[in-house]
Structure 1
Amino acid sequence: MDHLDRLENKSIHIIREAYSEFNNLSMLWSIGKDSTVLLWLARKAFFGHVPLPLVHIDTDYKIPEMIEHRDRLAKEWELDMIYGQNEAALENKETFPDGNTTRIECCKNLKSEALKKTLNGTWPRYRMNHNTGKYEVEENPEPYTGVIVGVRADEEGTRSKERYFSPRDTNNDWDLGDQPPEFWDQYKTDFAPGTHVRVHPLLDWKEVDIWRYIERENIPMVSLYYDQGDGTRYRSLGCNPCTDPVESTASTPQEIVKELESGKFSNIAERAGRKQDEEDGGGLEELRKEGYM
């Protein structure tokens, strides 16, 4: 096996372990490159079928192409697609674009809080009806006791502190000092009742691994990652008001891999275009402790 094969096999193993060990499991899909690779691996793990609901936290400020890509693949791949959002914060304009919060407070409202309440089922969930192609309110939603997430250790500092199987409390809060040891590919999966578990199959992957795999597998990606002719593209995707593109003429996965291998971005953090990171001093530890993805 080559390097990508080893990464793929380990990730598929973790996905299957999670599915066999935890009830009411879901998978987060942000429509970004990492979570789309995670979705592709899940399809491989279960021979083309994804037996888990795909959950997207819709802040209402995502770039339109992202939502279009989500719904197109959900229909094409017959995914059990669900989204949730903080409707009260949006209605009351408790957001940064409305000028009433900082970017970090906006992330807490539209991402962290929405994620918690969507996963535990206390706020409405909207599930795609594949007969109509429309989203409908899910009736009697049960809490998800675990969620598979596409975070990588090298993407941002706090993510390097994660485990493959990372326990959270009933509020999704993360205690960095109470992480289980994971040695020799042995994982703890027997947690106390009431524990919410985040599963991270991509923890060992690097940014260049992701793009090499996208190239090898020909995974369909949202077009925002590629130069459309103006000499810019997005390296990391988030909400439109808080995400800037980078200068790049790469229009294919192969060209992105060449950029990463050449060192073009060697001194530029992957999330450098995400303005909430700058506001938070370059770290997201407090946000992640409170449930941020």
Structure 2
Amino acid sequence: MQNLDNLESQSIFIFREARYAFKNLAMLWSMGKDSNVLLWLAKKAFCGHIPFPIIHIDTTYEFPQMLEFRSWAKEYYGFELIVKINQEAIERGISYKTHDPVTVTHELKTVALKQALEEYKWDGLITGIRRDEDGVRAKERYFSPRNQSMEWEYKNQPPEFWNLFLATLPNNGHVRIQPLLDWTELDIWLYIKRENIPIPSLYFSKNGKRYRSLGCWPITHPVPSHASTIDEIIEELYHTKTSERAGRAQDHAEPNAMQKLRAKGFL
């Protein structure tokens, strides 16, 4: 468990550095496994109290089980929850029935987040991304700047030597803070087991399938699995060759889809 202790300590350090560095901080929450580990770590970092709002970008395509979990978790943790929906895009008819997954993801997630940033003026956003999820996220930094348009210059990343992080804001932009960057999917599950962290039921096998990664229900598909407990999920991860995001259609909709989305400000 030494590895988990080290990861936990580093993540808590990043949380506290962010709290010190930014005047108007918020944390993105998708209600998935990584986001719930973030909630847990935030409580540890700040003595049981989460001192910034929790933001859910709601595409209106959430699994019903996720919405139930959202209501439950808000009461359980006692955090301030802000839910943002891009109503303007919905009124224009943006949907999975009429548009491709990359377009819908951009409109209902990225643009919705941009609207929230314009409204609340956050200068720092804590997110739950990990380097091992895909090659594009591996290019991120712990403190990763975005410009005024939320664009990410992944070819021009600041160095981070000796735990010295970029806390200077880009001109009218914001900084993404990534406390889970060094964690792996296996680390996440081992930590969930150790800490007994609540997670949505969709991660557990039903009828021979389960979800490895959760997103909008029309473009998120389960993978074959009989893992119905956390121990079985952990054992499965030691042997599987299926990628974590194999069931996420937006990643595979076109060449370099994820890189294009993230460059525009995707979560």
Query: TM-score, normalization: structure 2?
Result: 0.97
Residue 247 of structure 2 is matched in structure 1 by 273
**Could you tell me whether the CA contact under 8 Å between 1:167 and 1:196 is conserved in 2?**
yes
Q: Which of 116, 119, 122 does residue 117 from structure 2 map onto?
A: 119
The separation in 2 between residues aligned to 1:193 and 1:235, in whole angstroms, is 37
**How far apart are residue 192 of structure 1 and its match?**
4.4
The separation in 2 between residues aligned to 1:19 and 1:114, in whole angstroms, is 24
Specify the code of the residue in structure 2 equivalent to 1:278: H
**Could you tell me whether the CA contact under 8 Å between 2:102 and 2:257 is conserved in 1?**
no
Indicate the RMSD between aligned Cα atoms, in angstroms.
1.3
**Could you tell me whether the CA contact under 8 Å between 1:156 and 1:283 is conserved in 2?**
no
Aligned residue runs from structure 1 range 60-139, under 5 A: 60-96=60-96, 99-121=97-119
The separation in 2 between residues aligned to 1:89 and 1:114, in whole angstroms, is 9
Residue 235 of structure 1 is matched in structure 2 by 212
The separation in 2 between residues aligned to 1:280 and 1:218, in whole angstroms, is 38
- The structure richer in helix per residue is 2
**How far apart are residue 193 of structure 1 and its match?**
4.7
Aligned residue runs from structure 1 range 33-44, under 5 A: 33-44=33-44
In the alignment, structure 1 residue 154 sits paired with structure 2 residue 132: yes
Q: Secondary structure at the match of 1:147?
A: strand
What CA deviation, in whole Å up to 9, does each residue of 1:14-59 have, x standing for no partner?
A: 0010011101110000001111101110011011110010000000
**Could you tell me whether the CA contact under 8 Å between 1:158 and 1:283 is conserved in 2?**
no
**Could you tell me whether the CA contact under 8 Å between 2:205 and 2:227 is conserved in 1?**
yes
The separation in 2 between residues aligned to 1:77 and 1:39, in whole angstroms, is 8
**How far apart are residue 283 of structure 1 and its match?**
4.2
**Could you tell me whether the CA contact under 8 Å between 2:28 and 2:55 is conserved in 1?**
yes
Q: Which of 246, 250, 254 does residue 227 from structure 2 map onto?
A: 250
Farther-moved stretch of structure 1 (206-215 vs 167-176)? 167-176
In the alignment, structure 1 residue 24 sits paired with structure 2 residue 24: yes
**Could you tell me whether the CA contact under 8 Å between 2:16 and 2:45 is conserved in 1?**
yes
Q: Secondary structure at the match of 1:157?
A: coil
Q: Which of 218, 221, 224 does residue 199 from structure 2 map onto?
A: 221
Specify the code of the residue in structure 1 equivalent to 2:84: G
The separation in 2 between residues aligned to 1:93 and 1:191, in whole angstroms, is 35
**Could you tell me whether the CA contact under 8 Å between 2:149 and 2:173 is conserved in 1?**
no
Q: Secondary structure at the match of 1:284?
A: helix
Unaligned runs of 5+ in 1: 122-141
Residue 11 of structure 2 is matched in structure 1 by 11
Specify the code of the residue in structure 1 equivalent to 2:184: K
Q: Which of 169, 175, 178 does residue 197 from structure 1 map onto?
A: 175
**Could you tell me whether the CA contact under 8 Å between 2:131 and 2:139 is conserved in 1?**
yes
The separation in 2 between residues aligned to 1:225 and 1:28, in whole angstroms, is 20
Q: How high is the sequence identity, in percent, across the aligned residues?
A: 48
Q: Secondary structure at the match of 1:65?
A: helix
**How far apart are residue 282 of structure 1 and its match?**
5.7
**How far apart are residue 175 of structure 1 and its match?**
0.8
The size of the alignment, in residue pairs, is: 267
What CA deviation, in whole Å up to 9, does each residue of 1:177-226 have, x standing for no partner?
A: 22110123222223345231000000000000000000000000000001
Residue 287 of structure 1 is matched in structure 2 by 261
The separation in 2 between residues aligned to 1:256 and 1:118, in whole angstroms, is 35
Unaligned runs of 5+ in 2: none
The separation in 1 between residues aligned to 2:118 and 2:178, in whole angstroms, is 19
What CA deviation, in whole Å up to 9, does each residue of 1:51-80 have, x standing for no partner?
A: 010000000001011111011110121110
Residue 49 of structure 2 is matched in structure 1 by 49
